[in-house]
């Protein structure tokens, strides 16, 4: 287990070196991770590569990005911002299962991970991997598809959503 944890940490640190630059625009001395509009595919594929590296280290097969799951994740990230709270239910009372179905995903919904943070996607993935519930969603051996999206507010806060499907 220590070897697996060490491999995961080294992999995440290596990937973190590839993340977009921080912009110190808050005036508080803190760093804000600013996502530019042309970074979308880079960030999604960086997350996909990171997730697949973690899955491989745990013995699970790779997943691929799915347009419908990406759409469900994007809808929920924006909705969490509107609600100003990180939770799995939409402002219309929808569940993750409802959102995935609305987006047209025909596979089986396996789980959703969410976050409200100022951190990068790699830092967020690291935090998710520290929690058994979100770790189990990401490493679910029956997963074959992944959706990943976010919404960033003007103040820099990011609402991340990752959805897994089988």
Look at the pTM and tell me if it is higher than 0.85: no
Residue 31 lies in a domain: no
Q: What CATH number is attached to the domain comprising 140?
A: 3.40.33.10
Residue 10, CA distances (Å) to 5, 18, 116, 132 in order: 9, 13, 25, 20
Say yes or no to pLDDT of 3 above 60: no
Residue 48 lies in a domain: yes
pLDDT digits 0-9 by tens, 108-144? 999 999 999 999 999 999 999 999 999 999 999 999 9
Answer yes or no: are the C-beta atoms of 109 and 122 closer than 8 Å.
Answer: no
Distance CA 166, CA 51 (A): 15
Residue 70 lies in a domain: yes
Position of tokens 């999604």? 44
- Cα-only R_g, the chain: 15
Could you list the residue range(s) of the whole structural domain that residue 100 is in? 39-165
Nearest one of 74, 68, 62 to 139, comparing CA atoms: 62
Instruction: Count up the domains in the chain and report the number.
Output: 1
Residue 6 lies in a domain: no
Residue 142 lies in a domain: yes
Residue 147 lies in a domain: yes
pLDDT digits 0-9 by tens, 52-87? 999 999 999 999 999 999 999 999 999 999 887 677
| Residue 46, CB-side half-sphere exposure with 13 Å CA sphere | 22
Worst-scoring range by mean pLDDT, 53-57, 93-97, 103-107? 93-97
Residue 9 lies in a domain: no
């Amino acid at each position: 287990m220590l070897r697996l944890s060490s491999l995961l940490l080294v992999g995440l640190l290596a990937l973190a070196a590839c993340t977009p630059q921080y912009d110190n625009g808050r005036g508080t001395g803190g760093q804000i991770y600013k996502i530019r509009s042309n970074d979308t595919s880079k960030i999604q594929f960086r997350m996909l590569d990171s997730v697949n590296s973690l899955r491989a280290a745990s013995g699970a097969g790779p997943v691929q990005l799915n347009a419908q799951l990406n759409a469900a994740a994007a809808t929920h990230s924006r909705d969490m911002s509107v609600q100003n709270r990180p939770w799995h239910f939409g402002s219309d009372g929808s569940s993750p299962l409802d959102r995935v179905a609305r987006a047209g995903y025909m596979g089986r919904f396996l789980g959703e991970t969410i976050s409200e943070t100022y951190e990068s996607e790699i830092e967020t993935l690291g935090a998710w991997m520290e929690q058994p519930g979100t770790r189990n969603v990401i490493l679910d051996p029956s997963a074959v598809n992944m959706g990943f999206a976010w919404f960033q507010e003007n103040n820099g806060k990011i609402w991340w959503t990752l959805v897994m499907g089988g």
